[in-house]
Structure 1
């Protein structure tokens, strides 16, 4: 690792001059400044005191990092649009701008670069995954006490700053509502397990079954990727289980709606042939036929709170861990009001 002394030697200046360049202190000749910056770039040097560096010259921008997929406009989804609206409203209220930053899932993660270039005073991460590379990049932010916050993602064994919702309880509420109607076998269409909220929804599903004295059956659990397309594709696997098992819980509304469409093509109608519950309470959930039962997640409020916490880090130098979970609410509509007319017997 190059240090300040190495940069000074290569640039032909004193260590004090290197420090003045990176801390933007006092008058500096442009020629001297460029020599130092070029030497630092050549050696791959970055100041250790990043937190002090960005505090000396604020951009009044907060970077919001979202995943980028070709031909997929995530910003049109209820999930991302609500979070971004919440973040933007709070930042605007407090005099900050939102800098939207797209990151390819396959690209190396280097969140520190945002601070090194002083493009942002803090950052909020949406769509983070528990995968190698990403965990290490967040660890760097945390270790350096930089203002950041994860939204809707936690990491087991790490005390990363996060704002989340009580997804385990949301799943428990949804599945319990079906159990109270008399369903003894419930299909679960979950999302990828690298998202902590998928693991939490699975835990809520299992807890609800256990409380009702019903054994967990892995053959009733399917996985999509939170897209409507994956819900539609799952219909091919789930249709053969109907009508023997006619209660389904999907981990978000988009998959639930895709599943409705796929099962409709095979002659099954939600609310008539099977009970269906989604998750998120997206705007379209009330427009489906029949309207979709769902779990309301306060995404807008989560975005607001994440922005507020990051700004508190910046203005008040707060260092304690952020770990807040907002409550969720089950909303029943026509898609899950069907009641079983017989005791289900699983053939699996």
Structure 2
């Protein structure tokens, strides 16, 4: 190819790998020669030349008895990430971590396996904080999705969970419910704190009392909602509760199923609002009112923020994005 283009092999390498300044006339001769020879460049070789792997790492939690790809949250996020990565010519390298496994994220960069990474399902625990601090100190390109660490300044893409819960509470109050309980997720997730804040603010804004004892804790699974339905049934029958806001559709569906078995129907005997607006919300009877969270768009935004600068040979500026949510009223809240 070098002989056909009338240039050196080093010049051919620089043109094909996009390395260094090249005159447009020289670049055109090399590309013409490549076309004439039906040359297909090696992606691996190009990666070495550019000192890039061409992989976007996606770090995921490995949860017992949970198929991540069947959950609305992870499937939508990964779909958005994958579509955007493909647009930039990147492949995804999925990395699963056990709950107690060391978070050795920096090693992935040191081994040149990834050029940047997105971290899904991160929790505010000490091993996670140490691993992220190590990445930041090394100047690595990474982004947390649906999780933040106050004061750390890490790149984040999230949704406005606080406003979503506020909207859910206001919706129930507008429909005549007044004794609204909240089913939250673990405190190690920042979105749990956001939703709790939204619930508290909405109750106080409308003159309803906020009682810490009216907050129940699940783990965002259907099983945890179903398990807590017995406690919720007692509160409804005693007159202490007449509506529930759940931090995920899966927990809300567990509550709905458990209470239905006990003779209580959402939208008739109590109000119920979930969060995510998953496909399951439209399959329940009655259909579940829910806060729609744009997980697909979050995945797109997170990948784009990291890969757009890399495509130009730059590093991304710091970013903290928060996408809007929307309440979708259906039968479970009398909507």
The alignment's TM-score, normalised by the length of structure 2, stands at: 0.83
1:323 aligns with 2:320: yes
Separation (CA, whole Å) in 2 of partners of 1:55 and 1:65: 26
Alignment of 1:1-348 (within 5 A): 56-243=50-237, 244=239, 245-316=241-312, 317-337=314-334
- Call closer, same or farther: CA 1:140–1:315 in 2, change over 3 Å: farther
Distance 1:80 1:233, change over 3 A: same
In the TM superposition, what whole-angstrom CA distance separates every residue of 1:104-129 from its partner, at most 9, and x where no partner exists?
11011111011111111110000000
Detail structure 1 runs of 4+ shifted over 4 Å in the superposition: 53-56
Write the deviation string for residues 212-269 of structure 1: whole angstroms up to 9, x where unpaired: 1122111211000000000000112111011412111000100000111111121111
| TM-score normalised by the chain length of structure 1 | 0.80
Secondary structure in 1 matching 2:126: coil
Offset of residue 55 of structure 1? 9.1
Distance in 1, Cα, partners of 2:170 & 2:48 = 49
Q: Deviations over 1:192-222 (max 9, x none)?
A: 0110000000000000011011221112110
Preserved CA contact (<8 Å) 2:183 2:216: yes
| Structure 1 residue ranges without an equivalent (≥5) | 1-52, 339-348
**Pairwise CA RMSD:** 1.5
Query: What are the Cα deviations for residues 83-142 of structure 1, in whole angstroms up to 9, with x where unaligned?
Result: 000000000111100111100110111110111111111100000001101011111112
Rounded Cα–Cα distance in structure 1 between residues aligned with 2:146 and 2:202: 22
Going from structure 1 to structure 2, the CA distance change for 1:141 and 1:194 (only over 3 Å counts) comes to same
What is the number of residues matched between the two proteins? 286
Is this contact kept in 2: 1:65–1:100, CA < 8 A? yes
Give the conservation status (yes or no) of the 8 Å contact 1:54–1:115: no
After TM superposition, give the deviation of residue 313 of structure 1 in Å.
4.1
Q: Deviations over 1:246-305 (max 9, x none)?
A: 111000100000111111121111111111000000011011100000000000000001
- Gapped regions of structure 2 (runs ≥ 5): 1-46
Q: Could you tell me whether the CA contact under 8 Å between 2:162 and 2:197 is conserved in 1?
A: yes
